[in-house]
Chain A
Amino acid sequence: MRFMMLMIPKGYETAAPGSMPEDKGRVESMMKYNEALQRAGVLLALDGLHPPSMGARISFSRGRPKVTDGPFPEAKEVLGGYWVIDVKSRDEAIEWAKRCPASDEETIEVRQVQELEDWSDEIKPILEESSIERWAKKGE
């Protein structure tokens, strides 16, 4: 099963553009944690994200996109980064998250990635349709 561990650092919603982690010790311990994930063979991907003040939100109203530049005053929790891990169970994902050397200001949310078999029987065929079938339909 694939899980995303979402890192939610308090205060990141108001962080200035370009702010990066500067505490050497914390970066080192986080690197060690990432290595442990990799050595265990569970790590598929990870990324840190620049603060929302450098991002934008695109909302939709009656199908029309509207762009708002960051920061977003209404946002209480924002993402700081994520890991994608492949583990055997939700418990294993939680166990990995517990081992993260996070600070009091940080929360990790563990979320399972959707797989094909999670979809309903009505939706599945849309996802499973091969390109040749779509192409054939277009030709009709």
Chain B
Amino acid sequence: MNAAADVNRAIDAVWRMEAPRLIAGLARQVRDVGLAEELAQEALVAALQAWPKSGVPDRPGAWLMQTAKRKAIDLFRRNKRFQAIGEGIAHELEQEQMTPPDLDAALDDQIGDDLLGLIFTACHPVLSPEARTALTLRLLCGLTTEEIARAFLSPEPTIAQRIVRAKRALADAGVEFEVPRGQDLSDRLESVLEVIYLVFNEGYSATSGDDLVRPQLSNEAMRLARILAGLAAEEPEVHGLLALMEIQASRFAARVGPDGEPILLPDQNRARWDHLLIRRALGGLARAEALLRESRTGPGPYVLQAGIAACHARAKTADETDWERIVALYEALGALQPSPVIELNRAVAVSMARGPAAGLAIVDGLRDEPALKTYHLLPGVRADLLAKLGRHSEARADFEHAASLARNERERAHLLKRAAESAAGT
């Protein structure tokens, strides 16, 4: 084993563990996320120079923080640009350096608020969802620009520019590095959860042939949500989103067949589900529901979606699924966020709970919905219900229509196969 390479790998791991806390702590003190990241980077460079000779220090996080703060003082003293605002901050930092407190304890006490501040700043609504996502992966997950580019199948310069612009936009908008409180927190939380779920779905939609960075995104999203669930423990929607992602992730191994073909929920081998994740998710969902009972408020969209996912997760076989409960949850979700796609999902649940005719009545009500005009699942679902009712020639026409709208070859092939089966009257 090469000792230098070992140290470099250890530094990598330390960086990943410490970077968010480091950047968050610095951002609070220098009041600029972009600058905080630069200082943290400089501390990393210093570690890469020093540690291969000295070994990794006992408290690597404290070492990095000390080094970054020293760099901050230098910068504020040297650079005219910072002198006006920097004098006070530099003085503060120097005082701290003179009487080094128990750094780990200080880090732990303040760190929760700092991290939360960093999450809310990176996901600030003045930024586009793409900018928020890139900044979050960079600042909070410690991904390099190159990794983010690979994960989103984008050229590296595009992502680099996106991050630079996002930091500038935050500075230009005069975004304060702080944790929103009260109602403000709930409002701002929405844009944070949106980013996390977006990152998760990027990873979830990755296929086995994809670069490994892509599926890793789902883990990053769950890790972020777990951090958030600790920091904003009173927010039901945080627990809801985490539970939703954990249940979806629990099906990773079961959702694709040996030849890469998708396996639908009812046909999945439930023994292949990740029951550790399911157990965690059901616990988190119970937590969210308890919080809602305490505050006497209704569930938000993530808690409702997690509730639906949980109905599947709890069923030992597909036949044991509590479809009536799923229908009720889709009704609540549709009342909260009226959408024809949710309505179509409700139709499927109704057909499972009360028979294909009841489902078909809802689907037929959606036929003139402009948002579903090119959505292959509308004729797909309708065809499936018609086939179950024995109306084979109508089913065949709808399967063929669905196939013409399908997004990929695999789906098209599957729908055409069903069309042929309907033609044969089976």
Contact = CB atoms under 8 A, between A and B. Distances in A.
Given A44-B276, A86-B223, A94 B269 contact: no
Contact of B269 (A45, A89, A130): A130
B267 A128 contact: no
Interface stretch (A33-41, A58-66, A71-79): A33-41
B13 A125 contact: no
Interface in B209-239: 216, 219, 222-227, 230-231
A96 B17 CA distance: 9
A88 B224 CA distance: 13
A129 interface: yes
Contacts of B17: 40, 92, 95-96
Interface string A124-140: 11011111101000000
Given A39-B230, A42-B223, A127-B272, A88 B267 contact: no
28 contacts: A38-B226, A39-B227, A39-B230, A40-B227, A41-B227, A41-B230, A42-B223, A43-B226, A44-B280, A84-B276, A86-B222, A89-B13, A91-B9, A91-B10, A91-B13, A95-B17, A96-B17, A115-B253, A116-B253, A124-B258, A128-B256, A128-B258, A129-B257, A130-B263, A131-B267, A132-B266, A132-B267, A134-B269
A102 to B, nearest CB: 14
Interface residues of A, number: 29
B107 to A, nearest CB: 11
Contacts of B253: 115-116, 127-128
Contact of A38 (B9, B16, B230): B230
Interface in B346-384: none
Contacts of A84: 276
Interface in B250-276: 253-254, 256-258, 263, 266-272, 276
B14 interface: yes
How many chain B residues sit at the interface, stated as a range, is 35 or more
A127 B271 CA distance: 9
10 shortest A-B CB distances, which residue pairs?
A: A41-B226, A91-B13, A41-B223, A41-B227, A92-B13, A132-B267, A95-B13, A125-B258, A131-B269, A91-B9
Interface string B83-116: 0000000000000000000000000000010000
A95 to B, nearest CB: 4
Contacts of A92: 13, 16-17
Interface of A: 38-45, 84, 86, 88-89, 91-92, 94-96, 115-117, 124-125, 127-132, 134
B324 interface: no
A86 B219 contact: yes
A131 B268 contact: yes
B257 A128 contact: yes
Interface string B161-176: 0000000000000000
Nearest to A2: B276
Residue of B222, B227, B258, B263 contacting most chain A CB atoms (<10 Å): B258
